[in-house]
Amino acid sequence: MTLLRIHVEDAADQALVAKYQESGQHHIFDDWEDLDSSQRRGLLDALQKIDLGFIQQLIRDHMVSDPDHPPIATPTPPPLISLDDPKRELAREKGLEAIRNGELAIMLLAGGVGTRLGHPGPKGSYPLLPVSQGTLFQLFAESLWKLQKEMGTTIPWWIMTSPSNHQETVQYFRDNNYHGLNSSDVIIEPQEELPVIDARRGRILRSGPGEILFSPDGHGGAIRLLQRNANWFRSRGIKHVYTHQVDNPLAILGDPEFLGLHLLDNSVFSSKAVAKTNPEEKVGVFCQTGEHLRVIEYSELGEEERHRRNAEGELSFRAGNVAMHMIDLEFILGDESGEIPALPMPFHMANKSVRHWYGSEWHESDSPNSIRFETFIFDVLSQAPHALVVEASRDLEFAPVKNSSGKDSPESSRAALQKLWAQWLLEAGIELDMDDQGQPKRTLEISPRLACNVAQLKKVLDQITIPNEGPILIR
Q: Percent of the chain at pLDDT above 70?
A: 97
Enumerate residues 6+ apart whose C-beta is below 8 A from 298: 281, 282, 283, 284, 285, 306
Confidence class for position 416, pLDDT limits 50, 70, 90: very high
Helix, strand, or coil (residue 471): coil
Confidence class for position 405, pLDDT limits 50, 70, 90: very high
- Which domains does the chain show, CATH number per domain? 11-64 (no CATH), 88-402 (3.90.550.10), 408-475 (no CATH)
Alpha-carbon distance 397 to 273, whole Å? Answer: 10
Q: Are residues 137 and 186 in contact, defined by beta-carbon separation less than 8 angstroms?
A: no
Alpha-carbon distance 97 to 109, whole Å? Answer: 25
Alpha-carbon distance 343 to 156, whole Å? Answer: 24
What number is the average pLDDT over the span 240-261? 97
Q: Are residues 281 and 236 in contact, defined by beta-carbon separation less than 8 angstroms?
A: no
Alpha-carbon distance 443 to 438, whole Å? Answer: 13
What number is the average pLDDT over the span 381-391? 95
What number is the average pLDDT over the span 417-439? 94
Confidence class for position 68, pLDDT limits 50, 70, 90: very low
| 208 or 336: which leads in pLDDT | 208
In this predicted structure, the answer to whether residue 220 has a pLDDT above a threshold of 50 is yes
CA distances from 439 to 300, 420, 436 (A): 37, 9, 7
Q: What's the confidence (pLDDT) of residue 130?
A: 97
In this predicted structure, the answer to whether residue 319 has a pLDDT above a threshold of 80 is yes
What does DSSP say about strands 104-109 and 240-245: parallel, antiparallel, or unpaired?
parallel
Q: What's the confidence (pLDDT) of residue 383?
A: 93
In this predicted structure, the answer to whether residue 425 has a pLDDT above a threshold of 90 is yes
Q: What's the confidence (pLDDT) of residue 72?
A: 59
Neighbours of 380 (CB within 10 A): 23
Helix, strand, or coil (residue 309): strand
Confidence class for position 379, pLDDT limits 50, 70, 90: very high
First and final C-alpha spacing in the chain? 68
What number is the average pLDDT over the span 434-452? 95
Please tell me what DSSP assigns to residue 340.
P
Q: Over the stretch 152-190, which tens digit does the pLDDT of each residue have?
A: 999 999 999 999 999 999 999 999 999 999 999 999 999
Q: What's the confidence (pLDDT) of residue 64?
A: 61
Please tell me what DSSP assigns to residue 27.
G
Alpha-carbon distance 173 to 121, whole Å? Answer: 13
Q: What's the confidence (pLDDT) of residue 198?
A: 93
Instruction: Report which of 319, 314, 313 is spatially closest to residue 293, judged by C-alpha positions.
Output: 319
Q: Over the stretch 94-121, which tens digit does the pLDDT of each residue have?
A: 999 999 999 999 999 999 999 999 999 9
Q: Pick from 288-292, 332-336, 342-346, 383-387 the range whose average pLDDT is largest.
A: 383-387
Alpha-carbon distance 235 to 334, whole Å? Answer: 14
In this predicted structure, the answer to whether residue 67 has a pLDDT above a threshold of 80 is no
Query: What DSSP line would sit under 182-210, residue for residue?
Result: -GGGEEEEEPPEEE-EETTT-PBPEEETT
* Average pLDDT value over all residues in the chain: 92
In this predicted structure, the answer to whether residue 84 has a pLDDT above a threshold of 70 is yes
Give the global pTM. Answer: 0.92
Helix, strand, or coil (residue 328): strand
Q: Are residues 317 and 306 in contact, defined by beta-carbon separation less than 8 angstroms?
A: yes
Alpha-carbon distance 357 to 334, whole Å? Answer: 43
